């Protein structure tokens, strides 16, 4: 299933089925709790006509956001729902280009990573790709200027966003390909901070 931003065609049961493909089992009640806690987008609700029931349609990106929320609340470290809500808001602002990733909590990188990993598994069309690498090198000027090492067996569509994340002793480096401007943006987060 493609995740077309802005579309509302995903029913609650479809969200739950997509999550099962990622080995995450939640109920409709849990999905509703995620919605009320602002961990996922709000759905459109409406009636089907007199006596025909009601319908709930979530935005297409709901399953990937529910996956990110679940992983943050059940992973190591684990975050409280209130913190996950703030991380989600920050990550969405970074994705939308409203703020720079280095202006917010570094935990938003985890949110972005989980949503990309979800897309990569559910829609392996090559539109999304992420490589999480550990490096013990210091982040000098040459490191910033170098393009990431992308394995030759990975077919990348440079017409879409490509993200490479490096984890290191001194923090996180994110290199993100901007398909419009045709360059690698480098973001360095020098330290980890947990807001819980």
Tens of pLDDT along 77-122? 789 999 999 999 988 887 776 776 667 777 787 888 888 778 777 7
Decide which of 132 and 66 is more confident.
66
Distance CA 158, CA 179 (A): 6
Which pLDDT tens digit goes with each residue over 143-180? 667 777 776 666 666 776 677 777 666 667 777 777 78
Q: What is the DSSP letter of 56?
A: E
**Res. 137 pLDDT band, cuts 50 70 90:** low
Angle at 2 between CA 98 and CA 179, to 5 degrees: 45
Does the pTM exceed 0.95?
A: no
Burial of residue 181 (CB within 10 Å: 0-12, 13-18, 19+) is exposed
Residue 136: the pLDDT is 58
- Number of other CB atoms surrounding residue 116 within 10 Å: 20
Decide which of 55 and 155 is more confident.
55
Residue 34: the pLDDT is 98
Distance CA 152, CA 149 (A): 9
Residue 131: the pLDDT is 57
Decide which of 147 and 72 is more confident.
72
Contacts of 14 (CB under 8 A, 6+ apart): 1, 63
Residue 194: the pLDDT is 45
Q: Is residue 136 within 8 Å of residue 168, measured between CB atoms?
A: yes
Which pLDDT tens digit goes with each residue over 26-39? 999 999 999 999 99
β-strands 130-134, 54-57 pairing? unpaired
């Amino acid at each position: 299933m493609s995740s077309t931003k802005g579309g509302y065609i995903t029913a609650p049961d479809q969200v739950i089925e997509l999550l099962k493909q990622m080995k995450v089992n939640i109920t409709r009640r849990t999905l509703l709790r995620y919605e009320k806690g602002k961990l996922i987008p709000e759905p459109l609700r409406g009636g089907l006509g007199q006596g025909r029931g009601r319908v709930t349609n979530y935005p297409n990106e709901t399953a990937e956001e529910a996956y990110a929320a679940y992983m943050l609340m059940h992973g190591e470290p684990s975050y409280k729902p209130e913190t996950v809500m703030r991380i989600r808001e920050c990550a969405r602002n970074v994705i939308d280009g409203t703020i720079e990733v280095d202006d917010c909590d570094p935990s938003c990188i985890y949110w972005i990573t989980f949503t990309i990993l979800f897309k990569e598994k559910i829609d392996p069309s090559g539109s999304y790709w992420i490589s999480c690498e550990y490096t013990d090198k210091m982040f000098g000027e040459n490191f910033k200027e170098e393009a990431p090492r992308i394995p030759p067996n990975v077919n990348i569509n440079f017409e879409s966003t490509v993200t490479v994340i490096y984890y290191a002793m001194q923090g996180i480096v994110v290199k993100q390909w901007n398909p419009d401007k045709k360059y690698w943006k480098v973001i360095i987060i020098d330290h980890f901070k947990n807001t819980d």
